[in-house]
Structure 1
Amino acid sequence: MKRNKQLLSFFNEYQGRLFGYLMKMTLNRPDAEDIFQDTFIKYADKYPMEQSPALLYTIARNIFLDKIRKKVNKTNSYENAPVNKNSPEECLISKNATQRILSLLKKLPEEDRELLSMAGSDGLAYSEIAKVKNMTVANIKVRIYRARLKLKTMMEAEDE
């Protein structure tokens, strides 16, 4: 019973971050939801005693890569991205901003998109990303910095 509460607490703590990561990786809400569910099922089944964010993200990443391999010729959609529904104006602005960012992320190399997704708001710490990617923290910092620069350059070019 105690293990179940600990696992549930762990899931509750990371569900929003993990789903955000998967939305940025898949650019498609239904795929993100499927991978999200598969990730937690696999984690609970194989690692019920663990509470490792790096392991959770590694499982999600591997499931994502498996699905990509199976869907090589299908295109991703970002039309169903989550939107903040306060007022009609805010909704439209938020949706447009989300679509813009997701379309720019789609243009980045997969490695850059993945790193930005992991490090995004409320994302993993650099040390946790380093564990997932099997790299040094310094290398992760440099790669994320460069990926952010690429994204910023793309946004500025689009604004001109």
Structure 2
Amino acid sequence: MLFKTDSELLDGCLRRDSKAQAALYQKYKGRFFGICRRYTPNKEEAEDIFQDAFVKVFLNLKELRSADQLSAWIRRVVVNVCIDYYHKRINFVDLTEVPEVAPADWQNESIISAMNNQELLSMVNELPDGARMVFNLFVIDGYSHQEIAQMLGISEGTSKSQLFFAKKLLKKKLLTTGITID
């Protein structure tokens, strides 16, 4: 059977149709593996996280209320599995020496716009775990510092400091590659 819509895919997966499960996996693999890759320092860990995420997806599909929400729901599951995977391993850098900056400085994304996707992924993967997690959650996934603090079990100030630290490291890396930043 050919699955043309997310509704057909969801119905097939709920019936435990292996062809529907394979089709769902293939349809979303590229997009959501990319999310796992952003949160991990290497491809092997990203593959492990991705597999865990899709196991969780298949086990919990019955919780999904509408096929229209399938992509967003899978994305949320993938991000949560990434966070769970690293929650115990994250080492937040001691940022007691990082100066306070004005809130507007947190919103300046010129560092990001100066890079292409591959450069960004490569440089973000080199960040310390805590800085990488906060950077991904805030800049790329669009979570607020309050949401990040709740997800990671840290304070909002720590989230802001980690983001500042990540951007500072990225800026330094960019300057060493010859890319100029406003």
- Partners of 2:145 and 2:87 in 1: how far apart? 21
Identify which of structures 1 and 2 has the higher relative contact order when contacts are C-alpha pairs closer than 8 Å and 6+ apart.
1
- Partners of 1:37 and 1:119 in 2: how far apart? 24
Runs ≥4 residues deviating over 4 A: 15-20, 27-31, 46-51, 53-56
- Partners of 2:44 and 2:117 in 1: how far apart? 16
Structure 2 residue corresponding to 1:24, chosen from 38, 41, 53? 38
Q: 1:60 aligned to 2:79?
A: no
CA contact (8 A) 2:123 2:173 kept: yes
Q: CA deviation at 1:134?
A: 0.2
CA contact (8 A) 2:38 2:121 kept: yes
- Partners of 1:64 and 1:135 in 2: how far apart? 13
CA contact (8 A) 2:32 2:50 kept: yes
Q: CA deviation at 1:154?
A: 1.2
Amino acid at match of 2:37: M
Matches within 5 A, 1:58-137: 58-63=80-85, 97-137=116-156
CA contact (8 A) 1:35 1:60 kept: yes
Tell me: CA distance 1:152–1:137, structure 2 relative to 1, closer, same or farther (3 Å): same
Aligned to 1:10: none
- Partners of 2:44 and 2:78 in 1: how far apart? 19
Q: 1:38 aligned to 2:60?
A: no
Deviations 1:130-154 (A, max 9, x none): 1221011222112112211211121
Aligned to 1:78: none
Tell me: CA distance 1:36–1:25, structure 2 relative to 1, closer, same or farther (3 Å): same
- Partners of 2:157 and 2:126 in 1: how far apart? 25
TM-score under structure 1 length normalisation: 0.52
Tell me: CA distance 1:57–1:131, structure 2 relative to 1, closer, same or farther (3 Å): farther
Structure 2, unaligned runs of 5 or more: 1-9, 12-28, 65-72, 90-114
TM-score under structure 2 length normalisation: 0.47
- Partners of 1:156 and 1:138 in 2: how far apart? 27
Q: CA deviation at 1:109?
A: 1.6
Amino acid at match of 2:49: I
Aligned to 2:175: 156
Q: Secondary structure at the match of 2:133?
A: helix
Between 1:17-26 and 1:123-132, the stretch displaced more is 17-26
RMSD (Å), alpha carbons? 4.2
- Partners of 1:124 and 1:156 in 2: how far apart? 27
Deviations 1:91-127 (A, max 9, x none): xxxxx93332222223322221222122233332222
Tell me: CA distance 1:146–1:64, structure 2 relative to 1, closer, same or farther (3 Å): closer
Report which of the two structures shows the higher radius of gyration computed on alpha carbons: 2
